[in-house]
Structure 1
Amino acid sequence: MSDTSDKLEALRQRIDQLDSDVLRLISERASCAQEVARAKLADDASAVFYRPEREAQVLRRIMELNDGPLDDEEMARLFREIMSACLALEQPVKVAYLGPEGTFTQQAALKHFGESAVSLPMAAIDEVFREVEAGAVNYGVVPVENSTEGVVNHTLDTFMESSINICGEVVLRIHHHLLVSENTRRDKVSRVYSHPQSFAQCRKWLDAHFPHAERVPVASNAEAAKLVKTEWHSAAIAGDMAAKLYGLERVAEKIEDRPDNSTRFLIIGSQDVPMSGDDKTSLVVAMRNQPGALHDLLEPFHRHQVDMTRLETRPSRTGVWNYVFFIDFKGHYAEPHVAAMLEEVRLRAADLRVLGSYPKGVM
């Protein structure tokens, strides 16, 4: 026992020393961040402090250097919070997101910007866009597609009316739980609240476990969780943030029908983002209504070997039976082969707008 006690005591002393070293190094990093802020302000009073491409490069480097035992994403998450706290010393980032508080969109905002960001809930996607356009916030976070249910049309449509740029993306693994309050009579649940997308993502589970319960769609999963607090015969489908915010208990965990259920969110802002080394570009294209229009759009991608990752169509606002194409592809618009491809498409299209080039999601 004495040998074990001596070994544990030595390990604890080693951990204490390492903690002191980590604390000193984080403080040095924070001081360096303050020096960066002073240097930027001395050169330009309207300097931009948050640099999406730089942060992506730092996180990728950390993941490449990591040898464990923590996995790459967990290590990146720790550094994300350090970077978030250091950035707050320079200038706190204000981020609007599709609310209310406790939604997956807020979770995505905190995953991307860290807990030190100031996050502000908005009632609708177009309100997030307006806050960014007005300069009331630095960035916005909006959902764009789910791996189970497809694109969020409202987000795509809002881009057609906005000059806002896409500055980044974040992919969030979506876990749905069945939640109840302390007042819920679990054997008498006759109503389930959730967002329509969540109902669609949990359809099979609900059919098997609550086939006769009324499914009541609401504006958000957070609202569903809030409603359950006031009723004894209802449950909600929502995520971890909503459960914690409203003090609900998980009756069943991870009830989504597909284990890989994920949602992609876009970071919107007013700045152009330089190349990070692993980028994506999004654009919206209106083609002339003529035979071979789709071929004319796609052919330059193939010839210039640009990898298209998504193609969606939406009705145009300029005429009946006219459509626009939303396209994502790998690469940055400043790369020579991408620029050449875009110029060819521009000449063939009725209209083309690059929505933004931005770092591919790191975590």
Structure 2
Amino acid sequence: MVRVAYYGDVGSYSEEASLKFFKHAELRPCRRFKDVFDYVVSKEVDFGVVPIENSLEGSVGEVYDLLKDFNVMIYGEVQLRISHCLIALPGVELGSIKYVYSHPQALAQCSKFLDRLGVDVVPYHSTSSAVRMIRERGLKDSAAVGSLRAAELYGMKVLARDIQDNPNNYTRFLVIALHDHEPTGNDKTSVIIGLPHIPGSLYRALHEFAIRGINLTKIESRPKKEVVWEYIFFIDFEGHRLDSKCLEALNALRNSVPFMKVLGSYPKAT
């Protein structure tokens, strides 16, 4: 059976994404993003699953940094609709809740509901871990923002469902491995580039895609940790790195930028 490490605890959205992609797998929860990467590189697992961006809250910067620093590739992506619940101990009523725990992004995604509730929000390292913590400590004045699956797994009560501010709340997860995916005909490719700090360098780099009719789906800048106020760029584009026009663009780019890393090609999420 395939072995998969994922960020979060049992009942987390990353676990849901893992099961959506692999159906059947031996799953290993991790408390840190770095742990997922470490397990993949050490071959203790075959794949890792980490969140990379949310449609409302934006990108997960730490994961982008780890993609640059670790010798891994992207094997796949998963898109998951996020439906948050307010979860408490059995027997607890909504009016008795004073504190709400969850991952900072989950709390931000439910800010309007939580403001109306008039509670103190407390950041926790993951949604599912917050649910488990309340269960283990028996906190009757507290609730967690998490998934329906987490509530069911830990035998908790759902006080309210779909409490996110925006119904169009999706998180994109990456499946990482020591290799990428073979071509399917409906693929994406991700690369990192570093650019010289001169006018027009980004334009010239992107021009290699434009002249070949390659559609870019995302550009994300991250600080270059070695030099203050300089940046590297993460680029997603349609096509597989082995497709002829993509291969041409990558070869041209490699010869014109000081740094490039191909993160891999993988099927588009459906």
TM-score between both structures, scaled by the size of structure 1? 0.72
The question of whether the paired residues in 2 share the 8 Å contact of 1:221 and 1:237 is answered with yes
Matched, 1:310 2:199: no
Matched, 1:201 2:93: no
Distance between the aligned counterparts of 1:187 and 1:323, measured in 2? Answer: 48
SS of aligned partner of 2:246: helix
Higher share of residues assigned strand: 2
Give the match for residue 20 of structure 2.
Answer: 111
Superposed CA deviations along residues 4-58 of structure 1, whole A, max 9, x for unmatched, are xxxxxxxxxxxxxxxxxxxxxxxxxxxxxxxxxxxxxxxxxxxxxxxxxxxxxxx
Q: How much has 1:185 moved relative to structure 2?
A: 4.1
By relative contact order (CA 8 Å, sep 6+), the higher-ranking structure is: 2
| Number of equivalent positions | 268
The question of whether the paired residues in 2 share the 8 Å contact of 1:281 and 1:332 is answered with yes
The question of whether the paired residues in 1 share the 8 Å contact of 2:91 and 2:157 is answered with no
Q: How much has 1:174 moved relative to structure 2?
A: 0.4
Distance between the aligned counterparts of 1:316 and 1:160, measured in 2? Answer: 11
Give the match for residue 262 of structure 1.
Answer: 170
Q: How much has 1:317 moved relative to structure 2?
A: 2.8
Q: How much has 1:149 moved relative to structure 2?
A: 0.3
Q: How much has 1:94 moved relative to structure 2?
A: 0.3
SS of aligned partner of 1:290: coil
Instruction: Report % sequence identity.
Output: 39
Q: 1:215 aligns with which of 121, 126, 133?
A: 121
> Following superposition of structure 1 onto structure 2, how do residues 29-44 of structure 1 map, counting pairs within 5 Å?
none
Q: 2:31 aligns with which of 87, 109, 123?
A: 123
Distance between the aligned counterparts of 2:192 and 2:182, measured in 1? Answer: 20
Gapped regions of structure 1 (runs ≥ 5): 1-91
Q: How much has 1:341 moved relative to structure 2?
A: 1.1
Superposed CA deviations along residues 128-170 of structure 1, whole A, max 9, x for unmatched, are 0010000100000010000000000010000111110100000
> Following superposition of structure 1 onto structure 2, how do residues 1-363 of structure 1 map, counting pairs within 5 Å?
92-114=1-23, 116-208=24-116, 210=117, 212-229=118-135, 230-362=138-270
Q: How much has 1:228 moved relative to structure 2?
A: 2.5
The question of whether the paired residues in 1 share the 8 Å contact of 2:148 and 2:158 is answered with no
Higher share of residues assigned helix: 1
- Measured on the aligned residues, the alpha-carbon RMSD in Å equals 1.1
The question of whether the paired residues in 1 share the 8 Å contact of 2:93 and 2:159 is answered with no
Distance between the aligned counterparts of 1:186 and 1:328, measured in 2? Answer: 43
The question of whether the paired residues in 2 share the 8 Å contact of 1:164 and 1:268 is answered with yes
Give, as a single letter, the amino acid of the residue that structure 1 aligns with 2:17. A
Give, as a single letter, the amino acid of the residue that structure 2 aligns with 1:223. S
Distance between the aligned counterparts of 2:220 and 2:38, measured in 1? Answer: 24
The question of whether the paired residues in 2 share the 8 Å contact of 1:191 and 1:234 is answered with yes
TM-score between both structures, scaled by the size of structure 2? 0.96
The question of whether the paired residues in 2 share the 8 Å contact of 1:178 and 1:235 is answered with yes
Distance between the aligned counterparts of 2:12 and 2:180, measured in 1? Answer: 28
Q: How much has 1:112 moved relative to structure 2?
A: 0.5
SS of aligned partner of 1:285: strand
